[in-house]
Amino acid sequence: MATDAELVAEARAGSRDAAAELFERHWPAAWRVAFALTGAAAGAEDVAQDSFERAFSALGKFNGRSAFSTWLYRIVVNRALNVRRSEAKRGQANAGPEQAAAAESGGLFDLAEAVARLPDDRRVVVVLRYWLDFTPTEIATVLGLPVGTVHSRLGRALTDLRKGLEST
Q: Which residues contact 57 (CB under 8 A, 6 or more apart)?
A: none
Tell me the pLDDT tens digit for each residue of 66-122.
899 999 999 999 999 999 888 877 875 444 444 444 444 455 567 878 888 899 999
Supply the CATH classification number for the domain 96-168: 1.10.10.10
pLDDT of residue 110: 74
Q: Do domains 1-92 and 96-168 have the same CATH topology?
A: no
Domain ranges of the chain: 1-92, 96-168
Category of 93 on φ-ψ map: left (φ > 0), alpha (ψ -120 to 50) or beta: beta
Supply the CATH classification number for the domain 1-92: 1.10.1740.10
CB count within 10 Å of CB 96 equals: 19
Task: Please tell me the least confidently modeled range out of 22-26, 32-36, 65-69, 93-97.
Answer: 93-97
d(CA 127, CA 33): 7
State which amino acid sits at residue 5.
Answer: A
Task: Please tell me the least confidently modeled range out of 18-22, 60-64, 149-153.
Answer: 60-64
pTM listed for this prediction:
0.78
